[in-house]
Amino acid sequence: MDPSNSAPELKRQQRRLRFILQIAISAALGGFLFGYDTAVINGAVGAIGEVFEVSSGDLGRAVAAALIGSAFGALAAGWLSDRIGRRRSMVVAAGLFLVSAIGSALAQTLVGLIVWRVIGGLGVGFASVLAPAYIAEVSPADQRGRLGSLQQLAIVVGIFLALLFDYAIVQVTPDRNPVSMVGPLAAWRWMLMSEVLPAGLYGVLVLGIPESPRYLVQKGLPERARAVIEKTLHEPAQQVIERIQHSLENTDHGKITDLLDQRSLLLPVVWTGVMLAIFQQFVGINVIFYYSSVLWQAVGFSTTDSLMVTVITSVTNVVTTFVAIAFIDRIGRKPLLLAGSVVMTLTLGAMSWTFAGATVVNGSPQLVGVASVVALLAANLFVFAFGFSWGPVMWVMLGEMFNNRIRAVALGLCAMVNWIANWFIARTFPPLLEASGPALAYGLYATAAAISFFLVIFFVRETRGKELEDMA
């Protein structure tokens, strides 16, 4: 090949890659807020219980309140994004995050806190649908997995920074207590208020990204779609537009009814997405991030040490997501899911076994010596396995496994189910911890991880390298 001819093409490819990466990162910032919002409550849980004088059951409801909003937000996001576009819907999500952060930080009653957390949950639900859908729709097929994984990377970075801020703000209090005042507000209120900055940044950035070309073609705006396609995809724009138009022939906006099947209630591909969404949560990943500080305190760690352990765990989650980014387009989605299921089963089983053998002191299990090390290592290996597999891969697959007609609404339904499963796990863990300690809970999560292996084997189809218009 003549170097003089290849050089301009190489520059065009580099410009295209930079542009795609820029807009994907902007969209993925919704994932950052997704992670930040769901994790920032971690450091505030104990303080909320103390300030509002609530039982463990009421505390569980307060923490899980955002998840109810997330479920409804996810379902609404699919419908709304098909009508006003992916970009405008992301702006709405940013506004919900912003309002929720301020309201939650200033809440004077538990009911008020729950209301504001539900509003924030709506934003989380929006982000969980919009980011993977948008990134999938603007990405070349050969890079879609890596770019889609940016959503999960943003989520885990959001989790890490939320937990790091929780830890840092407690350190500046006189007695290292989240109830203590830092300036005009208690430390736990600053934890919740800190979401204002990334929410504002998200709103500004998404205003500068183009609309999804798939959405533009669906709305009868092929010339606007052409301008986006020429900047993002390798193929001739007209060829892509014609392929999208063909996939949308004789169809209107996707509706919930389009997901139904007379024989099996839902279309088989939708059932697969729903089961992926359920089992991603049934392995108990968010117990680590919602309740880890409470959990580690229950087995003998101090408040400060438990927060530090939680920060370490979140770092593990960030680092391991790069493994998924490196391999998801090389070896495919299914191998990563299967490997993750195996390691999660083993590590959760180890945690269950360790806590089952712990000495109970004043009603709480106490880990000493080797047992505490095993529990800590198993917890971080579990997070490592989730981080390179079910964490990013599920969202990538949900963004690409459905056809153009039903993608947004099917992704919305699956995300809603994911948040309902998340709520169920978050809601049931405190009573399980109080009634029987962590052993039973981790045993149940290990069982779910084992089942997830067979789900992938028998029902999940590989999507690596396929065009979105070729999906079922």
Higher pLDDT, 61 or 402: 402
Convert 100-124 to b/e letters by CB count within 10 Å (16 or more is b): bbebbbebeebeebbbbbbbbbbbb
Residue by residue, DSSP assigns 436-454 as H-HHHHHHHHHHHHHHHHH
Evaluate if residue 472 carries a pLDDT over 60. no
Evaluate if residue 103 carries a pLDDT over 70. yes
84 C-beta neighbours (distance < 10 Å), count: 13
Residue with tokens 């919900």: 96
pLDDT tens profile 168-195: 898 888 888 888 888 899 999 999 999 9
Start-end of H helices in 52-172: 56-84, 86-106, 110-138, 144-171
Assigned CATH for 3-209+251-470 = 1.20.1250.20
For residue 368, what pLDDT is reported? 67
pTM of the model: 0.81
Evaluate if residue 303 carries a pLDDT over 80. no
* Element at 343 (helix H, strand E): helix 333-356
Pairing of strands 260-261, 265-266: antiparallel
What percent of the chain lies above the pLDDT cut of 70?
A: 90
Evaluate if residue 285 carries a pLDDT over 80. yes
Distance between CA 127 and CA 307 in Å, rounded? 27
Nearest Cα residue to 154 out of 29, 48, 312? 29
- Quick check: 156 and 176 in contact, CB under 8 A? no
Listed in sequence order, the residues at least 6 apart from 352 whose beta carbon sits closer than 8 Å to its beta carbon are 438, 439, 440, 441, 442, 443, 446
Evaluate if residue 312 carries a pLDDT over 90. no
Helix (H, G, I), strand (E, B) or coil at 39: helix
For residue 4, what pLDDT is reported? 46
Domain spans in the chain, listed from the N-terminal domain onward: 3-209+251-470
Q: Of the ranges 5-9, 250-254, 364-368, 448-452, which one carries the lowest mean pLDDT score? A: 250-254
For residue 1, what pLDDT is reported? 46
Residue by residue, DSSP assigns 394-413 as HHHHHHHSS-TTTHHHHHHH
pLDDT tens profile 333-344: 999 999 999 999
Evaluate if residue 298 carries a pLDDT over 80. no
